[in-house]
Chains A and B, each alone.
Chain A
Amino acid sequence: MQVTMTVNDVEVTREIEGRLLLVHFLRDVLSLTGTHWGCDTSNCGTCVVWLDGEPVKSCTVLAAMAGGHEVRTVEGLAKGGELDPIQEGFRQCHGLQCGFCTPGMMMTCRALLDKNPDPTDGEIREAISGQICRCTGYATIVRSVRWAAVHEAAVTQ
């Protein structure tokens, strides 16, 4: 079957199998390997991308379901060569160790800040409660998101 969707503002059309999962479409068909593929059971959250602006676990969404919709991946976070404040926060605050969970964490936390620009530590932890950092670096992830929140507030003032 043929599927057409918008990925990081670019329209793509490909011939796919109905059973192809969105995570494999992104990684193997479009070569967007920033989105990681982890547990395959929607538990670990490393495959989180946005579907029409909302974080979803792309190992449990069919590529066909995304047809006609907008997908954004970690490759679509930076704008014009400038890192998104979330990315900069992870860099500044040591928000990643091995980096495996990082793309999913950043996509979820970017969506969190878009809805709630000044989240508490508790709200950040709730937002990423469906995502696992195998290095257990949660404290620095929370700190990174707070860095982005504070930084964005300073920029918009």
Chain B
Amino acid sequence: MQVPAPFEYERATSVDQAIGLLERLGSSARLVAGGHSLLPMMKLRLANFEYLIDINPLHAELGYIKIQTDEVRIGALTRHRELLESDDLAGAFPIFRDAERVIADPVVRNRGTLGGSLCQADPSEDLSAVCTTLDASCVIRGPRGERVVSMEEFHVGPYETAVGDDEILIEVRLPRRPGHGSAYEKVERRAGDWAVVSSGAAVWLADGKIVDARVGLAAVGPNTTGIPEISDTLRGNTPSEELFEQAGAIAARSCDPNTDQRGSADYKRHLADELTRRTLRKAVERARS
């Protein structure tokens, strides 16, 4: 039987009360939301905490999708199922529905949250790649107030984020610009598995030309990776197959995959190339329609 080592269970009643608990308990405490990454790690003793603070009771406060003209704001406790089912979110950023369809399975999606996914900071994690692709920023609250960090700043390293011991990720903000299209593709060994490689692409078109484009890859390096060189190559150009090929080639040589049981590094580079091309193609199609 796998069970976590003993810990004290605390239940959050508000964000501020949770921060108060974290301030008092320091690194011996950890927030738990959906728990589908943290609890398995605790069962395997890869993570041990003296206190778990259950923030599921804060869903009414931190579970929301607010579509505004200039940005979308998503509460950290918004569950995968809610992200998948939101037509408004799919309308603003089609990449979310693409990704949510292939994250874990429907039952796990009933529990897992956006904030939990980002805070787990697994290099293979899909929503981190989505948020990197969309140039998201993360709102972190602590005893000294709120701060907003970019995805690059948020992910310090594998399983490591900018969120301090007494802080909580409360919201993700995604900037909206006109002419947007986006897409996500993942290659996995079986339904609901972690990615062998996945790619997200987002483009913003005006007058038939690419004003901006971003690609985010998962499972090909220590963090989900945004690739600035791809953006530089695509900006100002008219979308074409040749351009997507260039972007794919950059993705393949810029990423840093490891050979493991999911595939060889060469195979993963091939996937980074192919999936970058496919998602860019689809993102452009969507931006035009």
Task: Report which A residues bind B (CB closer than 8 A).
Answer: 1, 17-21, 24, 40-42, 45, 48, 54-57, 60-62, 64-65, 67, 108, 126-127, 129-131
- Cα of A62 to Cα of B35 in the assembled complex, Å: 9
Q: Which residues of A contact B11 (CB under 8 A)?
A: 64, 67
List, sorted by A's number, 5 A–B pairs whose CB atoms are closer than 8 Å.
A1-B9, A17-B6, A18-B9, A42-B36, A130-B105
Q: Which residues of A contact B3 (CB under 8 A)?
A: 19-21, 24
> Could you tell me if A130 and B6 are in contact, using CB atoms closer than 8 angstroms?
no
Q: Which of under 10, 10 to 19, 20 to 34, or 35 or more describes the interface residues of B?
A: 20 to 34
> Could you tell me if B108 and A65 are in contact, using CB atoms closer than 8 angstroms?
no
- Cα of A21 to Cα of B32 in the assembled complex, Å: 14
> Could you tell me if B107 and A45 are in contact, using CB atoms closer than 8 angstroms?
yes
Contact string, B61-91, partner A, CB cutoff 8 A, digits 1/0? 0000000000000000000000000000000
With a 10 A CB-CB cut-off, give which of A42, A56, A61 has the most chain B CB atoms: A42
> Could you tell me if A61 and B111 are in contact, using CB atoms closer than 8 angstroms?
yes
- Cα of A130 to Cα of B105 in the assembled complex, Å: 5
Q: Does B110 interact with chain A (Cβ within 8 Å)?
A: yes
> Could you tell me if A126 and B35 are in contact, using CB atoms closer than 8 angstroms?
no
- Cα of A130 to Cα of B54 in the assembled complex, Å: 25
> Could you tell me if A42 and B40 are in contact, using CB atoms closer than 8 angstroms?
yes
> Could you tell me if B106 and A18 are in contact, using CB atoms closer than 8 angstroms?
no
> Could you tell me if B111 and A18 are in contact, using CB atoms closer than 8 angstroms?
no
> Could you tell me if A130 and B107 are in contact, using CB atoms closer than 8 angstroms?
yes
- Cα of A152 to Cα of B6 in the assembled complex, Å: 46
Q: Which residues of A contact B105 (CB under 8 A)?
A: 45, 129-131
> Could you tell me if B56 and A60 are in contact, using CB atoms closer than 8 angstroms?
no
> Could you tell me if B2 and A60 are in contact, using CB atoms closer than 8 angstroms?
no
> Could you tell me if A57 and B9 are in contact, using CB atoms closer than 8 angstroms?
no
- Cα of A18 to Cα of B8 in the assembled complex, Å: 6
> Could you tell me if B107 and A18 are in contact, using CB atoms closer than 8 angstroms?
no
Q: Which residues of A contact B9 (CB under 8 A)?
A: 1, 18-19, 62, 64
- Cα of A108 to Cα of B1 in the assembled complex, Å: 24
Given contacts A18-B7, A42-B108, A129-B105, contact A64 B192 (CB under 8 A): no
Q: Does B243 interact with chain A (Cβ within 8 Å)?
A: no
Q: Does B211 interact with chain A (Cβ within 8 Å)?
A: no
Given contacts A65-B35, A129-B192, contact A56 B110 (CB under 8 A): yes
Q: Which of A55, A60, A130 contacts B192 (CB 8 A)?
A: A130
Q: Does B43 interact with chain A (Cβ within 8 Å)?
A: yes
**Given known contacts A19-B4, A62-B35, A62-B54, what 8 new A-B pairs fall within 8 Å (CB)?**
A18-B9, A40-B1, A40-B43, A57-B107, A62-B9, A62-B39, A127-B106, A130-B192
Contact string, B3-26, partner A, CB cutoff 8 A, digits 1/0? 111111101000000000000000
- Cα of A108 to Cα of B107 in the assembled complex, Å: 8
| Chain A residue, CB-CB nearest to B39 | A60
Q: Which residues of A contact B35 (CB under 8 A)?
A: 60-62, 65
Give min CB distance, A52 to chain B, whole Å. Answer: 10
Q: Which residues of A contact B32 (CB under 8 A)?
A: 62
Give min CB distance, A7 to chain B, whole Å. Answer: 18
Give min CB distance, A71 to chain B, whole Å. Answer: 14
